[in-house]
Structure 1
Amino acid sequence: MKPRLQTSLGQQLVLTPQLRQALHLLQLATPELEAEINAAVESNPLLDWEEPAAGGDGDADGVHGEAHDGAGTDTAAARDDDRGDDAWQDDGDGAWSGSGGGGGSDDGDGDGDASERIAQSETLRDHLSWQLNLSHLSPREVAIGEAIVDAIDDDGYLREPLAAIAEGLAPELDCSETEVACVLDKVQRMDPTGVGARDLGECLLLQLAALPADTPGLAGARRAVSTLIDRLPRLGVSGLAEALGCDGAEADTVLHLIRSLDPRPGAQVGGMPQDTYVVPDCSIVRRNGMWRVVLAGGSHSRLTIHRGYEQMLQHAAGADAGYLRGRLQEARWLLKNIEARGETLLKVVRCLVREQSGFLEFGAQALRPLTLREVAAQIGMHESTVSRAVSRKYVHTPRGTLPLRAFFASGIDTGSGGEASSTAIQDMIRKLVDAEDPRKPLSDARLAASLKDSGVPVARRTVAKYREALHIASSHERVRIS
């Protein structure tokens, strides 16, 4: 055969530095984003803070008119919100019609109680359990999954043998090692990618399996991780090329791909310190019976490119020009990725408002079942992107400052053919306990019977689980003589 050249068209996803930065910024909480931006401004001379407009506090142009409702309003956020692309937009100002009626106050009640501003550190176990309860799994699989999640360490590795997990479940749940392995396979598909691996090789293979099939060097990376994981630290490019039977360029691509993987995926979650004040990322306010979503203002809204250095670049030459061009590109990437973060967050919150308007108006009992998969399908994004967007993000609402995860809940089929969210059921249990006779408190069985009469068939064990989650004591501990 004769060697010949030919062209072909194709698409592939490459994890560029710009894409890495976008994913990193998306999962940051607001205080962490502010710290990241401050560090970027200190190290990059092409970044600067935009000076506030002269002549007052900005109320004249109507930009900061929403700031009195609690969280500040960002100019770009207001413009983004005005470009609503769904049927809920009605009057051209970015508002959506709700179901009307009562509910929350017209425009919030200030900052709310101080206790709601203290952020709780989210652990890896919390992150995985939340995803587990939103997955389409049977109660038996969820119980096995919880045991697996409990055995995963802070780095994201499962150190306990599957046989020991099955044995630990034996008193209440008789399951085999094979059944535990099946549930582990589902846990390993959760965010962060690579979690639940039993060793470094499996962790890297899980991350490689999540990449597109046409990623450069993917096949060689799989072979290297599967057969050469113990020798990889000692092999250079030439040694890897010899072991894989490929040329130096391909071996370099394989090595670069392996180095881009995260050997400790669990460390991505749970890094937020205790006693950190919550800074809402956006606000949900009611205006004339409509729900409106705006991003909260912050230092990132004042970030801009230093015009002096940008003009200097036109006359620079040699090494100075190369340095300034590189810094200018980094500055533009950062500004673009911050804007993309805000747009993604707005898309997610808009979807949550559409789906959970009843929750905003009537409280937890009106919260409907909602999963990451449903939100991702509606806004055209991947589940992992939605998970990053809501992780450690807070929203200011007429009902207080809430984590975005409060808008998600698993569901249980009701007798009428619909679904009731776990949060709504917990609210019903709390109301039943509050209204009970203190001399004859309701047992878990009687609570289950009351819920069944209301059209929500729930097992006694499920009631006990929800009661414990609400920190409500058992019936014999709630007895009051007087």
Structure 2
Amino acid sequence: MKPSLVLKMGQQLTMTPQLQQAIKLLQLSTLDLQQEIQQALDSNPLLELIEDTSDTGSNSESSDSSDEHQNELTQQASSNSSSDDNSTDTANTSSQDQENEGSDSLYEDQWAEQIPSELSVDTAWEDVYDSLPPSTGNSSSGSDEDFDYTARNSTAETIQSHLHWQLNLTPLSDNDRLIAIAIIDAVDESGYLTCSLEDIHESFDPELEIDLDEVVVVHRLLKQFDPVGVAARDLKECLLTQLTQLSADTPFLEEAKLITQKYLHLLGNHDYNQLMRKAKLKEEQLKQAILLIQSLNPRPGSVIQDENSEYIVPDVIVQKRSDRWTVELNTDATPRLRINASYASLVKRADSSSDNTYIKNHLQEARWFIKSLQSRNETLMRVASCIVEHQKGFLEYGEEAMKPLVLHDIAEAVGMHESTISRVTTQKYMHTPRGIFELKYFFSSHVSTSSGGECSSTAIRAIIKKLIAAENARKPLSDSKIAKLLEEQGIKVARRTIAKYRESLSIPPSNERKRLV
């Protein structure tokens, strides 16, 4: 074949840098968007934040008036004063300064005499320094009073650090301390021992001549540390350790120890009839013993959690005003930007120098960035308003009134592609009178009803949760029974679907929900 030139016509979608930036900002969460804005502010000198100028304006007005008043006083003083008056004023000023210095030093001497040279052991700082003079004490503003130094600067405590702190306060020999450290290092986040005592014993150097009995004794000591039951090898040992710490006159203590020691598996299976028969307990005795066991902590390590609080900042706020649901953007979530007018005025059209090119390029980037932010806010508002319009029943009556909704419905309503709606609703949150929800929460599949309508899966989950909450604890509802109850309401749902919805709500099956009460 000979090489030749051929002309063809076709359409091709090109992703411009502006479009790529708009899509990138559209799918970012609030925290990620704030980081992106901060990076843009650091890299582009033509971008700046729009700060609240309400207080600044009042301060500037007051400062201007004070400056004008000061200028008037200066003019009057210059026209009416003489050299003699100036010398007299200087002398008076120096004498007043000396008097002030003398009074201040006298006051400080008197205050210092009130402080004892040595403080007793139980003396607190506030007992002596509570009545500091205003001139010498450090002034604290209202914001400083609300500042929680411990919460912002302290490191999160772990179960190991908590146990090591108690170990340092316990007098032990060198070998026992090594054993205790090895046991503490083998404790997991729940507070349980992750390996056997034999493995811990074999891990030591034979030259130390540590016996297994020493490991058992130190392990028994560690189980008494706070929280009680920590470093236990299983649930039975953890609960028994906590029961032994209770007072001997605790009601139904012996029954609780008997159940925990021998019949804990029956209690876990909720086989109360066999439990009463084997333990030879009456129903009331079993009920009180179970209540005592339920008051214990099966996961002692959960008392000390190494978790940082994560806060959700809503992107949109929904409120009801004058019998209408209104949607507005959360202005506190995203900073407002503008172009620095001083730098923008330095751009010259005909100048091709490097400085002018630098400013011109950053000016164009700043305009694109601000336009992309505006496009993101407009798209988010349109999608959120459409969701609120479609889910008014949820806002009025709750989850049971949730309507089925898919991405295609919102895409048709706002005239956008489904992929765009997916980006907008991912990691975006809406603040409503019923709580803060992700925009994805309002989308759910549907189930046909006997009347030919549709019911949302979210509404079905709410109905299942309501039925289980009102069930008889002695005879909990099975999945088949719940399916029949829903069918009576005109909702056709299979038993397997009920089981799937129940598991998504973290609700155990009927045999595990059985109670004596």
Instruction: State the TM-score, normalized to the length of structure 1.
Output: 0.52
For residues 416 and 461 of structure 1, the distance between their equivalents in structure 2, rounded to whole angstroms, comes to 22
Equivalent in 407, 412, 417 of residue 377 of structure 1? 412
Q: Which moved more, 1:299-308 or 1:472-481?
A: 299-308
Counterpart for residue 314 of structure 1? 348
- Structure number with the higher helix fraction is 2
For residues 407 and 496 of structure 2, the distance between their equivalents in structure 1, rounded to whole angstroms, comes to 26
Percentage of identical aligned residues = 46
Matched, 1:424 2:455: no
Deviations 1:267-314 (A, max 9, x none): xxxxxx985321110101000100000000137442110111001113
Where 1:292 maps in the other structure, the secondary structure is: strand
For residues 8 and 496 of structure 2, the distance between their equivalents in structure 1, rounded to whole angstroms, comes to 63
Counterpart for residue 54 of structure 2? 54
Name structure 1 gaps, 5 residues minimum.
59-272
Deviations 1:169-228 (A, max 9, x none): xxxxxxxxxxxxxxxxxxxxxxxxxxxxxxxxxxxxxxxxxxxxxxxxxxxxxxxxxxxx
> 5 Å matches for 1:382-397?
382-397=417-432
For residues 477 and 385 of structure 1, the distance between their equivalents in structure 2, rounded to whole angstroms, comes to 44
For residues 404 and 4 of structure 1, the distance between their equivalents in structure 2, rounded to whole angstroms, comes to 53
> 5 Å matches for 1:33-432?
33-55=33-55, 276-298=310-332, 300-314=334-348, 317-432=352-467
**CA, structure 1 residues 40+329, in 2 after alignment: closer, same or farther (shift >3 Å)?**
same
**CA, structure 1 residues 328+416, in 2 after alignment: closer, same or farther (shift >3 Å)?**
same
Where 2:54 maps in the other structure, the secondary structure is: coil
2:313 and 2:333 in contact (8 A); partners too:
no
For residues 353 and 31 of structure 2, the distance between their equivalents in structure 1, rounded to whole angstroms, comes to 39
For residues 429 and 51 of structure 1, the distance between their equivalents in structure 2, rounded to whole angstroms, comes to 49
For residues 354 and 404 of structure 1, the distance between their equivalents in structure 2, rounded to whole angstroms, comes to 13
Equivalent in 455, 460, 463 of residue 495 of structure 2? 460
User: What is the deviation of 1:414?
Assistant: 0.6
Where 1:395 maps in the other structure, the secondary structure is: strand
For residues 354 and 11 of structure 1, the distance between their equivalents in structure 2, rounded to whole angstroms, comes to 37
| Structure 1 runs, 4 residues or longer, greater than 4 Å off | 3-8, 55-58
Where 1:332 maps in the other structure, the secondary structure is: helix
2:314 and 2:333 in contact (8 A); partners too:
no
Counterpart for residue 23 of structure 1? 23
Deviations 1:405-462 (A, max 9, x none): 1111110101110011111001000111111111111111000000000100111111
User: What is the deviation of 1:354?
Assistant: 1.0
For residues 332 and 467 of structure 2, the distance between their equivalents in structure 1, rounded to whole angstroms, comes to 43
For residues 293 and 49 of structure 1, the distance between their equivalents in structure 2, rounded to whole angstroms, comes to 25
**CA, structure 1 residues 331+56, in 2 after alignment: closer, same or farther (shift >3 Å)?**
closer
Counterpart for residue 433 of structure 1? 468
- Relative contact order higher in (CA < 8 Å, ≥ 6 apart): 1
Name structure 2 gaps, 5 residues minimum.
59-306
Deviations 1:239-280 (A, max 9, x none): xxxxxxxxxxxxxxxxxxxxxxxxxxxxxxxxxx98532111
2:424 maps to a residue whose letter is A
Instruction: State the TM-score, normalized to the length of structure 2.
Output: 0.49
For residues 22 and 305 of structure 1, the distance between their equivalents in structure 2, rounded to whole angstroms, comes to 18
User: What is the deviation of 1:51?
Assistant: 3.6
For residues 469 and 409 of structure 1, the distance between their equivalents in structure 2, rounded to whole angstroms, comes to 14
Counterpart for residue 146 of structure 2? none
**CA, structure 1 residues 5+274, in 2 after alignment: closer, same or farther (shift >3 Å)?**
farther
Return the index of the structure with the highest Cα Rg: 2
Where 2:473 maps in the other structure, the secondary structure is: coil
Aligned length: 265
**CA, structure 1 residues 434+384, in 2 after alignment: closer, same or farther (shift >3 Å)?**
same
Deviations 1:35-83 (A, max 9, x none): 100110011011011242335899xxxxxxxxxxxxxxxxxxxxxxxxx
2:341 maps to a residue whose letter is R
User: What is the deviation of 1:323?
Assistant: 1.1
2:48 and 2:340 in contact (8 A); partners too:
yes
User: What is the deviation of 1:322?
Assistant: 1.1
2:28 maps to a residue whose letter is L
Counterpart for residue 475 of structure 1? 510
For residues 444 and 44 of structure 2, the distance between their equivalents in structure 1, rounded to whole angstroms, comes to 43
**CA, structure 1 residues 310+57, in 2 after alignment: closer, same or farther (shift >3 Å)?**
closer
2:49 and 2:335 in contact (8 A); partners too:
no
For residues 325 and 12 of structure 1, the distance between their equivalents in structure 2, rounded to whole angstroms, comes to 30
Equivalent in 446, 449, 461 of residue 484 of structure 2? 449
